[in-house]
Amino acid sequence: MVTGPAAPVNRSSDSEGLLWRLMAKLVTAYVRVRHGKHADGYRYFIRQHYLSWLFQLRYWWKDRVTRTPHATIAFDGEFSPELKFVIPYAYWHHLNGTLLKTIGCAHTRDLYFFSPDHEERYTTRRWNDFHFPLEIPNSEDHNVRYTYRKWAPVPWKSHFGHGHFTYAKPTLVIANRYNTEWTGEPVSYFGMEDLRALLHLLADRYQVIYNRPPAAAIVNDESQVMDLNEKDMIRREFPSVLLLEDLMAHPKAQARNFNHLQLMVYADCERFISIHGGTATLASCFGGTNVIYSRKGHEHYFGEFRSIYPKLSGSMILPCRTMKDVIKEVGNRFVNHPRQAQ
């Protein structure tokens, strides 16, 4: 089996293609009746979810009976669904004994640490919406419900948590981003004054590590990474705060790339404050507590902060629509009652 952009679906015969098209039409009709309360755009996500699971029927014998390595899983889409669906799908195949190979973007080898053969083939990421690989269960990226029959949480925390990034004070990661969203201006991000407010609350209590990846350190998608010019302010006004990219020089870490560094730092942390998207998804993969600033997005409509996000590692997910709510949750969880976050 080859799944993903590197290997488009190969219909073995005209009759099979006809059967698939008929099945797709029947699923479309079912979704229109069963989920008619949702708008067309949301019904598309639901339709793809059903089709992705019907597609898995062709692998039943190999996955459930012979269980020999056959699955090659390729993905060049956005970071968040890769963490939520693609890598847990690959990890399930690893546990099942059926994973043959994985193919991903540059600097993803450590994310697929369990893969017997991982190829870093892609140098850019594609925007997922409306072309998420149908061969991967839980397609599309968002849905009203998810199926976990071929999904397993990836133990990044236990694999990368070596205690290299522990300090005298408890560690807390603030994971920020500042880039275009939905082809427009940035929506969810911590601005300069937001960061000041958070750091005034936290810098004396925790070893805060601030993470906003430099554009050159990660594989980008269609979003444009912009500059907040906040890092000089943090160094000047909050000298105890560590910038994550500065930890690349940590003598024990020997980080191979920025993704590897993030995995090691996050694995030694139990407290996160993060931003909607891949930033929040990664911070949800390491247990503990994750306060997420998300002003809008499909995640709210589909209730993903109550479904798939807690599944990633058993972390407590606290979504906030406003910065006022972020400050309130940070005060409640990390300042007034810090043990609740452990």
Task: Determine which of 4-8, 47-51, 74-78, 85-89 has the lowest per-residue pLDDT on average.
Answer: 4-8
Strand partners, 218: none
Residue scoring higher pLDDT (297 or 62): 62
Over residues 230-251, mean pLDDT: 93
Q: Could you say which DSSP state residue 147 is in? A: -
DSSP H or E run through 193? helix 192-202
Token pair listed for 268? 């030694």
Token pair listed for 169? 């004070």
Closest to 72 in 3D by CA, of 151, 1, 143: 1
Token pair listed for 259? 């993704």
User: Per-residue pLDDT for 91 more than 50?
Assistant: yes
Closest to 146 in 3D by CA, of 52, 76, 57, 77: 52
Asked whether 2 and 117 are in contact (CB, 8 A), the reply is: no
User: 171-175 and 207-211 as β-strands: parallel, antiparallel, unpaired?
Assistant: parallel
The chain-wide mean pLDDT, for the chain, equals 88
CA distances from 302 to 128, 164, 289, 299, 334 (A): 17, 37, 21, 5, 28
Over residues 194-208, mean pLDDT: 97
User: Per-residue pLDDT for 190 more than 90?
Assistant: yes
Residue 326 to residue 130: CA distance in whole angstroms: 31
Domains of the chain plus CATH, in order, are 2-152 (no CATH), 158-341 (3.40.50.2000)
CA distances from 315 to 145, 263, 274 (A): 19, 16, 13
Asked whether 66 and 81 are in contact (CB, 8 A), the reply is: no
CA distances from 258 to 236, 264, 297 (A): 24, 10, 27
Label residue 4 by pLDDT band (50, 70, 90). Answer: low
Over residues 16-28, mean pLDDT: 80
Q: What share of the chain in percent tops pLDDT 70?
A: 89
Residue 293 backbone dihedrals phi, psi, to 5 degrees: -95, 110
Token pair listed for 337? 């009652």
User: Per-residue pLDDT for 233 more than 50?
Assistant: yes
Over residues 302-321, mean pLDDT: 94
Over residues 297-318, mean pLDDT: 92
pLDDT of residue 9: 39
Strand partners, 274: 292
User: Per-residue pLDDT for 242 more than 60?
Assistant: yes
Closest to 169 in 3D by CA, of 268, 264, 250: 268
Token pair listed for 342? 């452990």
Positive or negative torsion for Cα 124, 129, 131, 135: positive
DSSP readout, 61-94? HIIIII--S-EEEE--S-HHHIIIIIHHHHHHHH
Strand partners, 174: 210, 273
pLDDT of residue 19: 78
Maximum Cα interatomic distance, the chain, rounded to a whole number of Å: 68
DSSP readout, 2-19? EESTTS----SSHHHHHH
User: Per-residue pLDDT for 251 more than 60?
Assistant: yes
Residue 245 backbone dihedrals phi, psi, to 5 degrees: -65, -25
pLDDT of residue 225: 73
pLDDT of residue 28: 83
Over residues 113-119, mean pLDDT: 98
pTM for the structure as a whole: 0.89
Residue 16 to residue 22: CA distance in whole angstroms: 10
Over residues 64-85, mean pLDDT: 94
Residue 331 to residue 131: CA distance in whole angstroms: 40
pLDDT digits (tens, 9 = 90+) for 125-173: 887 554 566 788 886 667 777 889 999 999 999 999 999 999 999 999 9
Q: Could you say which DSSP state residue 226 is in? A: -
User: Per-residue pLDDT for 182 more than 70?
Assistant: no
pLDDT of residue 11: 40
